[in-house]
Amino acid sequence: MNHGFVRLVDYLGGDARIVQAARVSYGPGTKTFREDRALIHYLMRNRHTSPFEQVILTFHVKLPLFVARQWIRHRTARVNEISGRYSILPDEFYLPAPDAIRYQSTRNKQGRGEEMVPPELQQRVLEILCQGQASLYADYQALLQENIARELARINLPLSLYTQWYWQIDLHNLFHFLKLRLDPHAQLEIREYARVLANITKTVAPIAYEAFEEYVLYGVNFSRTEMEALRAILRGEENPLTGRARQLFEEKLNPAEQERPHQ
């Protein structure tokens, strides 16, 4: 991601904090690792979320503005972001890798498709992005040199500019973020950040992350109608679903390949 990064600044608690919160009447060391693991899996499987809220992680993240605008929609965290009213923003912009440049998807209105773009068009796209970034940043510098207020000088800067923030979130809501942002339908760039967050989270609370993968990240929920269809199939009957409902049901049974965070 060019200039971006994710780093863990601090954290409070881990797997032990989760089981202590769930067993408030027990002291530390009274249960075995196997029992603790079974309890965490039970909590995740049955959606008992409050013990996971006892674990808090604080990240320092540098990311392009367009990724930040998607990220900030998760309103369950505490955020402190660099301000262009106080600071002069550096000349740092995101450029996609050539093979990440794709045509608009014909099936997904908000994403890119699978069809590769010819190399000459990839290069043209990168040239357009570079030229626009350089021109807009030169305008920004020109306004600053005229002593125009920083809060005004910044307003034409593009979404590819990098910002930074401190992002603090509890483990339950972090798992919700990861469920959405590790999904293959999420935008490629935010998935890159989600993978790093996932690997850090796995280090802080490995048993909880294991349970999250088992029951949430790679789990599937069926509607009442889909359950009826599933029962029919198990009885050897024809799938009663048709059209779009059937397509969505079959996608749950045969999901798109989901990239796992690095081991």
Element (H, E) at 12: strand 5-12
Q: Of 17, 154, 181, 195, which residue is the catalytic one?
A: 181
pTM for the full predicted model: 0.90
Residue 222 and residue 62: Cα distance in Å, rounded? 37
Going by C-beta distance under 8 Å and a sequence separation of 6 or more, which residues neighbour residue 48? 22, 42
Q: 209-236: per-residue pLDDT in tens?
A: 999 999 999 999 999 999 999 999 999 9
Helix H, strand E, coil C: the string for 138-191 is HHHHHHHHCCCCHHHHCCCCCCCEEEEEEEEEEHHHHHHHHHHHCCCCCCHHHH
Mean pLDDT per 10-residue section of the chain, whose length is 263 residues: 96 96 70 88 96 98 98 96 96 96 87 92 98 98 98 98 98 98 94 98 98 96 95 95 93 74 57
Orientation of helix 224-234 relative to helix 243-253, angle to 10°: 70
For the question of residue 181 being annotated catalytic, the response is: yes
Q: What is the pLDDT of residue 138?
A: 98
Q: What is the pLDDT of residue 82?
A: 96
Q: 24-63: per-residue pLDDT in tens?
A: 856 555 578 789 999 999 999 999 999 999 999 999 999 9
